[in-house]
Structure 1
Amino acid sequence: MGKSNLTEFGLGGTAACCAGFFTNPLEVVKTRLQLQGELMKRGHYTVHYRNSFHAFYTIGKTDGIFALQKGLVPALWYQMFMNGVRLGSYQVLANVGFTVDENGSVKWGASVIAGAFSGCLGAAVGSPFYMVKTHLQARANQAIAVGTQHPHDSMVKGFTLIFKEHGVTGLWRGTTAAVSRVMVGSAAQLSTFSTAKEYIVSLKLFPVNSVFNSLLASILGGFVVVACMTPFDVVSTRMYNQPVDLSGKGTMYRNVPNCFAQIFKKEGVWGFYKGVGASLFRLVPHTVLSLVFWDQLRILYGKLTSDS
């Protein structure tokens, strides 16, 4: 792989980490809301978190303000690996002309395929970090605990315990859920962002390299991602956080289709949109920050290399 392609992976991962630091508290809130009332009908479980704002208040009051940054270390590593591979491979495909025609215009269909493919790669690589991140973010004071409570309280302890009990394959448990989640989200996000940015630039509202072109396009991308990805996000959180037996298999959900079926049967359609408010508050700013950082880092890198 050439140096320019390696650079694309590095720029993508760095941009995602910058965004992840600011949006991790929203990820904690989203995870708690998605696990609350797991496989129970509305009205049949204790509501610890009424909505996103109440979740912020409750977590800060009960577990302390720093609890809102639980899972930050694996979250940043996940962003580096997952989005480094995802954004990097997408840009590599763009660089070789897969997503653009001979005139440099974005090919929407090819962009969707490239986004889905790069999302699959990123999700598979970053899966162990996402699992441990989910475990740590779900861990709470018993008074407000939701979902399965895993014993580890750090990324290193999490990896060590999982590897000791279930081997290397245990670290990739739940990857199928992560792949479907990121594949849908990435295809929606990157195709929308690329197409929207091209259109916004064509309107000449701002200079070609203005950050506002990236900002407006990424906001559109964020809303599309929330609409498409939330059900897959809920399933992914449930698959990763469920308890496992001695063989390392989940005891609540056999696989992704079974998880979808159980949620629909016991929680209804609403179950797939638990935490949608937190997802919106988290995904839109995360998408905006990730794509703006990514776009601007690429522009900055281009300027630095052209001047040297």
Structure 2
Amino acid sequence: MASTTSPLPTVHADSGDTNGGTASRVVQSVKSAVRAQESELKRWRRTFDANAKTVVNGEKLLDRDQFVNAIAPKGDLTRISRAQFAILFRVADAAKRGLLSWDDFMVFQALLKRPDADYYMAFQYFDVDGSGTITFDEFKSVFSSHIGPDAIPFDFDCDWVKLYLGKKNGAHVLGYHEFTQLMKGLQGERLRQAFHYFDKNQDGFIRPDQFKRIMLELAGHKLSDVVIELLPTLTTLSPGGNISFSEVNACHNVIREMDMIERVLHEATAKSKDGRIDQTEFLNHAASTSRHSLFTPMEASIIFHFAGRGAAGQRLAFIDFAQLLDPRWRAPGDSEDAMVDKAEGVTASSVLSNIAHSAYNFLQGGMAGAFGATIVYPIDLGALMQNQRSTIVGQLLYKNSWDCVKKVLRNEGFRGFYRGLGPQLIGVAPEKAIKLTVNDLVRGRAMDPETGRISPFWEVVAGGTAGGCQVVFTNPLEIVKIRLQVQGEAAAVEGAAPRGAVHIIRQLGLLGLYRGASACLLRDIPFSAIYFPAYSHLKKDVFHEGYHGKTLSFFETLTSAAVAGMPAAYLTTPADVVKTRLQVEARKGQTSYKGLADAFAKIYREEGFKALFKGGTARILRSSPQFGFTLVAYEYLHKYPWKEAPREVETALTTRGEEIAKTRARNALKILLDVHGDIGRRTPSAA
């Protein structure tokens, strides 16, 4: 009898496109999963080998400290000490021999991948005898062992504990699932008991310092230094100078639901026109994302109170909430280095640093522009098509773009495709440097520093200003380049000797180098005004740059830059055609033009509307990849090697890729830390 179960569907050769395609996708999915597992096993092995310094009978082993080095995230551990990560060693050391083998470490890493790793680790930690159940004595012993004599006391004989463990101590034991429910409600009971402990006269209020002590014991590891300092100010939300249980409970709910708060804040600020929201907008968005209200008005007030540092009625940007969302947050202005710099004012080193940054900006713009221009320069032969008059006396040089390419290759060889590249590279450095730098400068001045938002009007102004500034270098560059390109083919047909760039510059003179500048302005200002806003919105709205800390890949950046260049290039083709006609010296029998308006009128009258878009396709094929590669190079060069990245909001929701593996151990501690924020910091008195 055939087996009724199979881990994979059978793939039949004649199963048809649909079934075959489905089976193929399943096989590919399984193969991808296997490759991912193999990669993860290799990473675990590298981590183990790098930290296992203890060798017994030729076998590498991890002791407690080496285990912590292997699992603890690198970097700032101010909220969770390294000693607290060591409590996971007892869970990993199932054999209780004080050392971990490779097999032990691999099993522990597999446990960290469980979706309930935090509850599972807590259960293993409380299950001292390894029986698979937890008794009242085990629960009390482990809980009490991590609480010092100065901690807020917890009554184990309360009705709440009896609901889970029965009235008779030891008469009822907890399995894993029952234990998870007990742990989920434990903090709520501790909060109630702590408030009752301080509310001696039972008037329903406690002092601000008592409230701060409760929050530090229950959730101190979840709060940044800024929020901890602001805890006593919660008393300002209502008159009386004291804090009620409702406010304490609301604050605890805010801390417990921080991940959901972050999602709501991210989405609400992203949809806001100015990138800022108030309490009403927060509550409206929270209500629209669920069947029932997620947060009460009091909880919303507490969120905005701590984010706004006590100031009421503010519209806040997402970055304002960072000090609440990120427990390791420290405002840049509050750092010791920043305070020293502010006190000392502008120093010589800071001036030199600014000069170095400016010089680097200018250099990177030139390097990026030269890179993009070199790659697509052969496509720039579109200038030859633009200059070709349909009413020319004699033969028509080129029938189409392909015919143009063949004749240039036949008459001038491969080097003909790069005729005029020298002046292009000489001029492209300052041109692109000014264009990119001016756009960044204007956008930076007009941008809200907290939201990172800029209005559409200023986006267009920034791009247009950048395009206008570049004409100082663009016009002389292009008039020389175009004459070099055009004379190459004309010389082959007419038998004339081609002239070099120096001859052309001398022939034109200083004023001649700016012939057609009005058309150049008419082309470059609209081009940049279209291009830079389109590029920015493609990155942000299509590829979601910055959303939950996302950084665009090379392909996404290249695609954004290339696609943005398509409409900008084609829509400004008429101005480019006119500019080319004005800058190229008319040969015998060709129409000459007196100026911008005259060129537009004569081209339209003699050649028709289509003539204004000659070379439009070539401009797209040139400008799109050119700006694509230029902007990609600029984006990567723009990261100063000495510049510190601004501090961003760092939470579980912003952790991606390989960083997830580094934070699994921290996440596995969540439930244990909810027992008491100091768990693991002191040696257990009984465990």
TM class, shorter-length: 0.7 to 0.9
* Counterpart Cα distance in 1 of 2:538 and 2:396: 40
Q: Give, in angstroms, the shift of residue 105 of structure 1.
A: 2.3
Identity %: 23
Distance 1:5 1:108, change over 3 A: farther
Within a 5 Å distance, the mapping from 1:1-308 to structure 2 comes to 2-3=354-355, 4-27=357-380, 29-37=381-389, 40=391, 46-96=395-445, 98-99=446-447, 102-142=450-490, 153-163=499-509, 168-202=510-544, 207-243=550-586, 252-299=592-639, 302-306=640-644
CA contact (8 A) 1:162 1:171 kept: yes
Q: Give, in angstroms, the shift of residue 102 of structure 1.
A: 4.2
CA contact (8 A) 1:223 1:280 kept: yes
SS at match of 2:473: helix
CA contact (8 A) 1:25 1:68 kept: yes
* Counterpart Cα distance in 1 of 2:358 and 2:604: 42
CA contact (8 A) 1:9 1:88 kept: yes
* Counterpart Cα distance in 1 of 2:431 and 2:394: 35
* Counterpart Cα distance in 2 of 1:196 and 1:106: 15
* Counterpart Cα distance in 2 of 1:16 and 1:150: 33
* Counterpart Cα distance in 2 of 1:111 and 1:142: 42
- CA deviation profile, 1:10-52 (whole Å, cap 9, x unmatched): 222221111111111111x2011101125x29xx863332322
Aligned length: 288
* Counterpart Cα distance in 2 of 1:99 and 1:112: 13
* Counterpart Cα distance in 1 of 2:601 and 2:612: 11
Output the TM-score relative to the length of structure 1.
Answer: 0.83
* Counterpart Cα distance in 2 of 1:253 and 1:6: 41
* Counterpart Cα distance in 2 of 1:82 and 1:275: 23
Q: Which moved more, 1:287-296 or 1:49-58?
A: 49-58
SS at match of 2:499: coil
- CA deviation profile, 1:193-236 (whole Å, cap 9, x unmatched): 11211223427699414223311211221111122211111111
Distance 1:306 1:281, change over 3 A: same
SS at match of 2:360: helix
* Counterpart Cα distance in 1 of 2:478 and 2:644: 37
> What one-letter code is carried by the residue in structure 2 that aligns with 1:156?
V
Flag structure 1 segments of 5+ consecutive residues without an equivalent.
Answer: 245-250
- The structure whose residues are more often helix, as a share, is 1
Distance 1:141 1:255, change over 3 A: closer
- CA deviation profile, 1:129-175 (whole Å, cap 9, x unmatched): 211111101112448669xx997632222223323xxxx22222221
Distance 1:71 1:143, change over 3 A: closer
CA RMSD, 1 decimal: 2.9
Flag structure 2 segments of 5+ consecutive residues without an equivalent.
Answer: 1-350, 646-687
Alignment partner, residue 252 of structure 2: none
Distance 1:283 1:100, change over 3 A: farther
| Larger radius of gyration between Structure 1 and Structure 2 | 2
SS at match of 1:103: coil
SS at match of 2:544: helix
* Counterpart Cα distance in 2 of 1:255 and 1:205: 52
Higher relative contact order (CA 8 A, sep 6+): 1
